């Protein structure tokens, strides 16, 4: 069974940093691209970033480019999202999702940016 388990969310002040993790199991992590998608409270889904299976190709939404960094540890089956210079409008539930077509999703982790 595919499982994606996000962690690392919490309350942070504007300008602060957080690192999210997504632990994957139940599929061959090393062969799949991975995504981060976020959802602000009461709002729709917003794609954040995608990293290819090897990590050699990475794409970012303009809204996070230069502030967020996606990475993966294929030896540990973990996806990361380093978030710097956080803004109030980054407040959202952050989901990791597997494959370019987002076949499987985790339960999400809430990031709240507030003073």
Partner 1 sequence: DVVMTQSPLSLPVTLGQPASISCRSSQSLVYNDGITYLIWFQQRPGQSPRRLIYTVSNRDSGVPDRFSGTGSGTNFTLKISRVEAEDVGIYYCMQGTHWPLTFGGGTKVEIK
Binding of partner 1 by 101 (CB under 8 A): yes
Separation CA 72–CA 51 (nearest Å): 8
CB of 39 vs partner 1, minimal distance in Å: 8
Instruction: Name the residue nearer to partner 1 (CB basis): 35 or 78.
Output: 35
Closest CA to 18 of 8, 6, 28: 8
Separation CA 68–CA 101 (nearest Å): 21
13-72 binders of partner 1 (CB under 8 A): 35, 37, 44-47, 50, 59-62
Binding of partner 1 by 109 (CB under 8 A): no
Instruction: Name the residue nearer to partner 1 (CB basis): 42 or 115.
Output: 42
């Amino acid at each position: 069974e595919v499982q994606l388990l996000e962690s690392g969310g919490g309350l942070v002040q504007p300008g602060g940093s957080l690192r999210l993790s997504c632990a994957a199991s139940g599929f061959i992590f090393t062969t799949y691209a991975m995504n981060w998608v976020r959802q602000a409270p009461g709002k729709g889904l917003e794609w954040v970033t995608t990293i290819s299976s090897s990590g050699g190709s990475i794409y970012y939404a303009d809204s996070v480019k230069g502030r967020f960094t996606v990475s993966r540890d294929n030896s540990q089956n973990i996806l990361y999202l380093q978030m710097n210079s956080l803004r109030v409008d980054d407040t959202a539930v952050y989901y990791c999702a597997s494959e370019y077509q987002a076949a499987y999703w985790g339960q999400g982790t809430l990031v709240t940016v507030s003073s």
